[in-house]
Chains A and B, each alone.
Chain A
Amino acid sequence: MKKFMNDAEQFLSESLAGFVAVHADVVALGEGGLYVSRAAPNKAKVALISGGGSGHEPLHAGFVGTGMLDAACPGQVFTSPTPDQMLAAANAVGGAPGVLFIVKNYSGDCMNFEMAAELYEGKIATVLVNDDVAVEDSTWTTGRRGVAGTMIVEKIVGAAAEAGKSLDELKALGDRVVAATRSMGVALTSCTVPAAGKPTFTLGEDEMEMGVGIHGEPGRRRVKLTSAKTIAGEMVEAIVADIAKSGVTGGPIILLVNGFGGTPAGELYLMAEMARTDLAARGFTLARMIVGNYITSLDMAGCSITITAVDDALLALWDAPVKTAGLVWG
């Protein structure tokens, strides 16, 4: 393992200290380092709080700021944060309009956010993100994983919260965006958790893991590496086949091609081109496209493709101004 670090135990706190120092105009570190909040909290609106294991940067702390999240709770690397973190964040940024948790669907995240919601005394609701189509057989799993689509949910719901929507409206909007979002990932290499010191899994030189999750957890199957066009085609096919079950067979979409941390931008744009042309040929309109390392998996090479079916109202929320460490526009 080659990583920039001093002591595995201090990895998270030192990295977080750097993050809040660099982005001090946007974020502040909460009491005891339990959460990251906006530098200037606004309790007059519904507070959006997310969180999860670290190692996915810029998700989630990188999406704290005007137009997106109010606070994010970083867990240890690939480990859900604990209920005291979410409770402290909710007490710090939540006001009378209420608190909305945005949670990626993993057993640990669900349980820890659930315990925090039970302990919080104000109004609270939860949106569960489960956009990963790689998890096929839902009777055998805890349900689909929440992956890169989480960023789209946080952006759109964040814009609506900024516009003063109520907790009930935001919960309904969040559920709607989740229902309109599908993702699929592929890994070309494994990733190494700093404290573990060795790769989570091993892939041969000529192998890839199709349907990989964002913690390096294996996906649908391990196959021989092939052309970018074929890889993107398989991912798009899985996504399109799945969203068709919800009645979406074309029309305007947001396309997100997300890097897992170890793949250069040039390759990501190449994959975006493959996905874009494939989707266009299938009758989808590329209303917005975004490419970059947003929901990473430490140093894993690979990417995910996400689409969200949108209408003009959702596009307006997507286009609304945002100022966070990870996303800035408008």
Chain B
Amino acid sequence: MSSTDAAQTGLTIEALTKAIDAVVATIVDHASELTDLDMAIGDGDHGLNMKRGFEAVRGAAAKIAAQTPADALKTIGTTLIMTVGGASGPLYGSLFLAMSKAVADRPIDLVVAAEMLEAGIQAVQSRGKSHAGEKTMLETLIPVGAALTAAGPAADPAALTAALKAAAAAGAASTVPLRASKGRASFLGERSIGHMDPGARSSELMVGAVCDAFFAPAP
């Protein structure tokens, strides 16, 4: 969607489908990087699990294309919960389910999108019993949510893309010096320091892919 279209008609399922394709592609492309990050401080399965889950989302493409954006987000959430496993499945699944619920039959413009993301972040916090500063995906999602909320209804697409990507990158990078207190990385104690959290990185990748799909100028 361009911001002008969004202001008038809201996010279309075509635009959402394009974003989903971009997210699936980036997760599949970066699966081994995510697995390597997870090997350093977890159990080395984040890339494989995310790849399996998002390939299942790709498999549901025909169903999603016939749905409203809100129902499509619900399909994505349910698919991830049933296919990813581990902690990432319930967490990313809860994110998408809460975003779907927050649409509440409204056209999705930037203001609604910001509300949706905030609702999604709340759901991740409550499912994971976690908060900022624990070296998790929230380190990426919370600043991205804040940047989207701050952007307001008429943000310039290029500036918004830059702001969201910068927030995501800074958020993921901020996990490196943190000591984990949630998830398997927490068992490492001090040894979790110095490594990027794989969930924060996968969230950064997803934010980047969504921005590019929504806001990149047509080739």
Contact = CB atoms under 8 A, between A and B. Distances in A.
Interface residues of B, number: 32
A112 B187 contact: no
Q: Is the interface of B mostly helix, strand, loop or mixed?
A: helix
Nearest to A222: B191
B189 A112 contact: no
Interface in A125-171: 134-137, 139-142, 145
Nearest to B49: A79
A77 interface: yes
Interface of A: 53, 75-84, 106-108, 111-112, 114-115, 134-137, 139-142, 145, 193, 195-196, 200-201, 213, 215-219
Nearest to B32: A196
A219 B187 contact: yes
Contacts of A136: 189
Contact of B45 (A76, A84, A106): A76
Contacts of A141: 181, 186-187, 189
Q: Which of A81, A115, A139 has the most CB of B within 10 A?
A: A115
Contact of A217 (B42, B87, B128, B181): B42
B187 A135 contact: yes
Contacts of A108: 85-90
A217 B81 contact: no
B85 A80 contact: yes
Q: Closest 6 interchain pairs by CB?
A: A108-B87, A111-B90, A108-B86, A79-B85, A141-B186, A215-B43
Contacts of A83: 81-82, 90
A107 B184 contact: yes
A142 B45 contact: no
Interface string B81-105: 1111111111100000000000000
A77 B127 CA distance: 23
A138 to B, nearest CB: 10
Interface string B15-53: 000000000000000000001000100111100110010
B45 A213 contact: no
B183 interface: yes
B175 to A, nearest CB: 15
Q: Which of A84, A106, A136, A141 has the most CB of B within 10 A?
A: A141
